[in-house]
Amino acid sequence: MNILITGATGFIGKFLVDYALEEKLNVFASVRKSSNKSSLADKNVQFIELDLTSEQSLITALNDFASTHGTIDYVIHNAGITKTTDNSAYDLVNFSYTVNLIKALEGTGQTIKKFTLISSLAASSPGEGDQMIKIDQIGDPVSAYGWSKKKAEDYIEQNCSLPYVILRPPPVFGPGDKDMFPVFDLVNKNLELYVGGNLQLLSFIYVKDLARGIVKATISEIKNKKYFLSDNGQYDNQQFNALIKKYLNKKTLKIKLPLFVVYVVAFFSEIYTRISGNLSQLNIEKIKELKCSNWMCDSRDFYKDLALEPKYTLYEGIQETIDWYRKEHWIK
DSSP 254-317: EEEE-HHHHHHHHHHHHHHHHHH-PPPS--HHHHHHHT-SEE-B--HHHHHHHT---S--HHHH
Q: What percent of the chain has pLDDT over 70?
A: 92
pLDDT in tens, 256-310: 877 767 666 666 666 666 666 666 666 777 778 888 899 999 999 999 999 999 9
pLDDT at 177: 96
CA–CA separation, 81 vs 130, rounded Å?
30
> Which amino acid, residue 251?
K
Give dist(CA 301, CA 257) in Å, integer.
36
CA 136 to chain CA mean position, Å: 20
CB 112 within 8 A of CB 73: yes
Q: Tell me the C-alpha distance between 18 and 39, whole Å.
A: 11
3-class state of residue 54 by DSSP: coil
Q: Report how many helices (DSSP H) and strands (DSSP E) the chain contains, helices first.
A: 12, 14
Query: What are the tens digits of pLDDT across the range 119-177?
Result: 999 999 999 999 999 999 888 999 999 999 999 999 999 999 999 999 999 999 999 99
Averaged pLDDT, 67-93: 93
Output the pLDDT for position 84. 86
Q: How many other C-beta atoms can be found within 10 angstroms of the C-beta atom of residue 140?
A: 12
Sequence-separated (6 or more) residues with CB below 8 Å from residue 268: none
Whether the Cβ atoms of residue 110 and residue 66 lie closer than 8 Å to each other: yes
Query: 245, 232, 93: which is closest to 169 by C-alpha?
Result: 232
Q: Is the pLDDT of residue 202 over 90?
A: yes
pLDDT of 85 > 90? The answer is no
pLDDT score of 271: 66
Please, what are the domains in the chain?
Answer: 2-172+204-232+295-311 (3.40.50.720)
Calculate mean pLDDT across residues 309-313: 97
